[in-house]
Structure 1
Amino acid sequence: MYDENDFVSLLNLGHGAAIERFDYEFQRAVANCLDPNTSGGVRTITLKVKLKPNEQRTSGSVSVDCSSTLAAVKPFTTEVFIAQGAGRAVAVEHNPHQLQMDLQPGKPQLVSDRAMGGDAQ
């Protein structure tokens, strides 16, 4: 009547969809492990299979859910400077009072002693 290959197993449940969903969540978990912005905590993959028989117990419906719990992205901090600007409150990440150096890559700039306030000969 039925061949051994006809019986449902995790390998062929949903014509392979259960394994595909697990593989998808597993890849997400591995990528999350490689992300340096996440903690080194445990990642969890849950494959939940629910089987509900009909009233006569001759057939049933199967529900498959696969989910993962991944490590959250680590928070980061930064320093902001706050002030009034353009008629509103503003925040910037760099210090607006810090002088900026206008250096051009590849063009060395020589400074003479005279320019520095010293005696040049």
Structure 2
Amino acid sequence: MSFLIRVIVNALALAAAVWVVPGLKIVAAGEGTMSTVIAYLVVAVIFGLVNALVRPIVKLFSLPITCLTLGLFTIVINALMLLLTSWLTTFTPIELVIEQFWWDAIAGTIIISIVSAVLGLFVKSDSD
């Protein structure tokens, strides 16, 4: 159940980022509300898998520069994970489009982090 809740939180955070940042788009094959919801859920699953599998390795190798920048490089790492998600979705019928790295990916990452943190406060975890 925890995985499903995390996917829904990620999907809502992605929806907020797409709504706020004009250079982020999720393009689905079909049209309609249901296909849009499914598109956000699919991109959220891919984004969650990237964050679970790739991000810890990248964070480990970038630990010196992260310490040097007092943790601010983590924003760049998160933006790179969003770009990797965008690249991986090009192989699916649903695609996450990021127009510019510095504005769209960084701003999208910041919005996704804030929305995920706020929604995480309202969601009860399995350890509680």
Scaled by the length of structure 2, the TM-score of the pair is: 0.25
If you compute each CA radius of gyration, which structure gives the higher value, 1 or 2? 1
Which structure has more helix as a fraction of its residues?
Answer: 2
Q: State the TM-score, normalizing by the size of structure 1.
A: 0.26
More strand by share: 1
